[in-house]
Structure 1
């Protein structure tokens, strides 16, 4: 399939209007469903990625897992198809911007705003977990923030249902190193606690202005996730928020808060000096999805067997796949 252009029609009904985002694996287009007369987002896998069996399975995995999820805090997948060997996903068009863009611009969030973002995220994650789907790549770029800070979780390309086999060979895991739970870095099975660890990294980053673990390479970051203590939070972080973050970033998943629903209920008890309407009481149907779309799917860092590099003295998670198939980083990995 050649380069896509505005006006291209996929599947006989989805007309591409304008390019919204480009990631390591694909492009996201603003489009129109001519049969249902509604605007949509269309994610198209790039030709090179479409020929890679792992990425193709990821793409189909997203279609299967996300299409079965119905929740206001999850970006809905409507359809899946292939044209001349190039697969595409048709998704809900979401008004808003990725949390990664907000953090790049504002560096930190107020705790009040962060609690709102996290509660919405938890509700979306709980719906996925209840359906037996672990996201496995929760990060700011996959949280689309709308008006009133309502969040839609997107990009289930690395997700895994309870009845599915892993997409990778034994000893390999997929995810983004900066948000990768220690157990995933060690090649263990993903659980709800693994997604909650990533939520903890996001919370830390949102109040401190940088991620807790940074290094020159993704594999070194993964090693730090497994071995290093979480850097002390500054005194500007409230004790309740610090307690939540430190709990979510426990190395042992059994010591973390058990479910996203439990985390949401705990966050709901947070109080702030100025009273405000509970943001989760706002009607999400009141927003019009016509301003922006989900981010490009950005292929996650692939962690490969540890024998590809000398084993250090401490625990060594798997190493990283070829750079040609890595996403563009959302933000610099070093301290700011």
Structure 2
């Protein structure tokens, strides 16, 4: 199980308008920090800063992927999708400012429920996937904004990495889709390869690595169908060695939920099996239709759920773990029972209010919920790929010519002259990172950086040390806080038209090679060396010639 790598920081000024407060995690591509944004009139807002790792900042391909994530996120404004506020650079390294969410990954929520014998109730599981499908339908249908090259044209956004680790449940019972790091959209720089998502949540066409355009938005629907199966049935769907998992994915070998849970509702089983059809044409053609069918199921079966009820379930799990309940979530009925002098213990009433339904998994089934670690060599072989190719796709590494020294993304330091005194100023972020070394393998923040689950086959280099466990806080996902839906309205943040062909040159600062205008003046292309001296020389020559001509004429 992967845990978050956190570290408290001395407040560090960052990017001119942010103050870094805490490092939340380190991922394969980025570092995640909790920060405070300050402005005039006492305005303050907590945000998450996702900063590209310095050693990757000179690879144009990786920088382009990082900025693609920011560009896609900036286009989306939906309550079930993480909000992106800003993108800029600091010390020559790009970063993204995004919503800071108090919550936890869906897989962690399920594990906590198993530990306490109160697995996620089926009505809440359906409600959470309904919310995720609602957000998915929104970004699948998103069209280009007015005044952009793709005005009113479908953007064809495909997430490609839907999994429980990329679905966050806030403490207020709302589902958030996060991590568009490998997402694809119309107008992006075309990629010749299909970047694989997490192995156990790929669609058949992803597992086959289809390159004929068959991987579209319906691939996300299949992946969400896997999550729906798992959190309603109570066990993982595609488990086992990598070769077996890929074979099951390619052939879409799915046992109906009633094989594992006899009392599984027939109407819900039909929804699950339709989402998991092998051929995209047989699945739901729209995530909105999936969301509508899930809502209809809850209504017809008279199952009651919603954000408040989900929040009370989370509150119960926190209480069972020894944490304090949120007073605002204590219902009037509970207060009346407590004041009525009932013999039953008040805390027991709270816990028993979420008794598992018949057939729900218990603590003894927790090992079945876990997936074993998959050796990356086996994953590459199962997908028909070279190991180096898989690593390059899943965990980008800098592409440098042999013998070139590693770079930090900053300007080459200038040697002071004899009459200058060295400043002795160092980068405070680098100092913190050096003190915390070595960096654990595959760390993940409860935000928009897609690492995580043991069975999710995230790729990392073999020479990295194992992940160090971090003690979880009593409150679920106490590492995020809700943020308003306010979004940055800076101009020039758009996807490029399909025929745009960006030129990539071995320039020192790859941010200047992005094919479209981006937010932040420091991300605009670097200007060429100043021509002012030559203009002055030319003007002087013209003046001299005019003077000579005047003298001759006189």
TM-score by length of 1: 0.79
In the alignment, the residues of structure 1 paired with residue 113 and residue 453 of structure 2 have an alpha-carbon distance, to the nearest angstrom, of: 13
Alignment match, 1:80: 87
In the alignment, the residues of structure 2 paired with residue 59 and residue 32 of structure 1 have an alpha-carbon distance, to the nearest angstrom, of: 22
Written as runs of structure 1 = structure 2, the 5 A alignment for 1:44-193 is 44-107=51-114, 108-131=119-142, 132=155, 133-167=157-191, 170-188=192-210, 189=213, 190-193=215-218
In the alignment, the residues of structure 1 paired with residue 207 and residue 64 of structure 2 have an alpha-carbon distance, to the nearest angstrom, of: 21
**Of the candidates 29, 50, 64, which is equivalent to residue 33 of structure 2?**
29
In the alignment, the residues of structure 2 paired with residue 184 and residue 256 of structure 1 have an alpha-carbon distance, to the nearest angstrom, of: 15
**Of the candidates 304, 312, 315, which is equivalent to residue 276 of structure 1?**
304
Alignment match, 1:196: 221
In the alignment, the residues of structure 1 paired with residue 282 and residue 266 of structure 2 have an alpha-carbon distance, to the nearest angstrom, of: 19
Q: Which SS does the other structure have where 1:9 is aligned? A: strand
Q: After TM superposition, give the deviation of residue 33 of structure 1 in Å.
A: 0.8
Q: Which SS does the other structure have where 1:210 is aligned? A: coil
Q: After TM superposition, give the deviation of residue 275 of structure 1 in Å.
A: 5.6
Alignment match, 1:289: none
**Of the candidates 218, 240, 248, which is equivalent to residue 215 of structure 1?**
240
**Max Rg structure:** 2
Contact residue 187 and residue 318 of structure 1 kept, 8 A: no
- Structure whose residues are more often strand by fraction: 1
Aligned CA distance change for structure 1 residues 163 and 220 (closer, same or farther; 3 Å): farther
Q: Which SS does the other structure have where 2:96 is aligned? A: strand
**Of the candidates 382, 385, 395, which is equivalent to residue 325 of structure 1?**
395
**Over aligned residues, Cα RMSD in angstroms?**
3.2
Contact residue 123 and residue 305 of structure 2 kept, 8 A: no
Q: After TM superposition, give the deviation of residue 61 of structure 1 in Å.
A: 1.0
In the alignment, the residues of structure 2 paired with residue 318 and residue 270 of structure 1 have an alpha-carbon distance, to the nearest angstrom, of: 41
In the alignment, structure 1 residue 227 sits paired with structure 2 residue 251: yes
Aligned CA distance change for structure 1 residues 64 and 115 (closer, same or farther; 3 Å): same
Aligned CA distance change for structure 1 residues 149 and 134 (closer, same or farther; 3 Å): same
Alignment match, 2:45: 38
In the alignment, the residues of structure 1 paired with residue 70 and residue 233 of structure 2 have an alpha-carbon distance, to the nearest angstrom, of: 35
Q: Which SS does the other structure have where 1:134 is aligned? A: coil
Which sections of structure 1, spanning at least 5 residues, go unmatched? 283-300
**Of the candidates 284, 289, 293, which is equivalent to residue 266 of structure 1?**
293
In the alignment, the residues of structure 1 paired with residue 190 and residue 112 of structure 2 have an alpha-carbon distance, to the nearest angstrom, of: 36
Aligned length: 303
TM-score by length of 2: 0.50
In the alignment, the residues of structure 2 paired with residue 17 and residue 210 of structure 1 have an alpha-carbon distance, to the nearest angstrom, of: 38
Which sections of structure 2, spanning at least 5 residues, go unmatched? 1-6, 143-154, 311-373, 397-441, 444-450, 457-554
Q: After TM superposition, give the deviation of residue 137 of structure 1 in Å.
A: 0.9
Q: After TM superposition, give the deviation of residue 225 of structure 1 in Å.
A: 1.0
In the alignment, the residues of structure 1 paired with residue 138 and residue 68 of structure 2 have an alpha-carbon distance, to the nearest angstrom, of: 17
List per-residue Cα deviations over 1:232-268 (Å, max 9, x = no partner).
4222422122211111111101100111111111111
In the alignment, the residues of structure 1 paired with residue 302 and residue 141 of structure 2 have an alpha-carbon distance, to the nearest angstrom, of: 34
Aligned CA distance change for structure 1 residues 171 and 31 (closer, same or farther; 3 Å): closer
List per-residue Cα deviations over 1:165-199 (Å, max 9, x = no partner).
444xx344231111111112223333221111111
List per-residue Cα deviations over 1:212-242 (Å, max 9, x = no partner).
112333x653343112511342224221222
List per-residue Cα deviations over 1:138-169 (Å, max 9, x = no partner).
111111111342111111111111222444xx
In the alignment, the residues of structure 1 paired with residue 245 and residue 232 of structure 2 have an alpha-carbon distance, to the nearest angstrom, of: 20
Written as runs of structure 1 = structure 2, the 5 A alignment for 1:241-320 is 241-271=268-298, 276=304, 279=307, 309=381, 318=385
